[in-house]
Amino acid sequence: MTYSNLQIFIVELVGTFLLVVFATGSIVYDVKVFDGNLGIPFIAIAPFIALLIGVYAFGKISLAHFNPAVTIGYYITGHITKIQVLYYFIAEIIGALLGSLFVQSFVGYNADLGVNIPNYDFSIFLIFSVEVLASVMLMGVIFYVVYTKGLRGFSGIAIGGIVGLDILFLAFISGASMNPARALAPALLSGTLDSLWIYLTAPFVGTIIAAFLFRGKFQAQRASNYE
């Protein structure tokens, strides 16, 4: 079944909203209620749950991007068109902003609305590289499940799981956003913009690398389908 760009727009907006509410809301809630004592494990599991819901609910409609960097990856591999990139980007940004507004209104303003913050005890080269690596791994897992199974079976667990693992093991260095929309919304609303450039660049570098690694596989797969 083919879905319209409007349907894709709506589910991407809703899915990104859900992801941002869980990903940033968990940080705000932890700081507000538990003084940050739940820590990274709690913050890692929240987006896992959001992606689990989003992939299984919306994957067959929009491929469940919820992330502009992922959208660029899918464009490079030929899964979506140029005009669809625009639909995805607008939906993801609006969804993220609405998510941050929701967190601000109903959860709290603590921790600058859950903005991503790198650890400047490390070098900026390492921070940027780790954010690229996290994004490569995310896009690689997404492409692997799409290439082998489609967004079925354990795909939601795999995609949500790699986000959770990236946060669990890499957030203490780079903040592990992997998602420009998720980073942009709380940064804009809280005015915490100093490190935003990292999350508006590194995730794209990572997903572009993964896309070029997988592009040949998808082209061969499409060619075999026409034979």
Residue 195, judged by CB atoms within 10 A of its CB (0-12, 13-18, 19+), counts as: buried
pLDDT tens readout for residues 197-211: 999 999 999 999 999
Cα distance between residue 207 and residue 28, in whole Å = 28
pLDDT average, residue stretch 170-180 = 98
**Residues 43 and 123: beta-carbon distance below 8 Å:** no
Architecture of domain 5-226: Up-down Bundle (1.20)
Domain boundaries, the chain: 5-226
**Per-residue model confidence as pLDDT tens digits over 3-42:** 999 999 999 999 999 999 999 999 999 999 999 999 999 9
pTM comes to 0.95
**CB–CB of 119/132 below 8 Å?**
no
Q: Sign (positive/negative) of CA torsion 48, 53, 54, 55?
A: positive
What is the spatial distance between Cα 192 and Cα 135, in angstroms, rounded to a whole number? 22
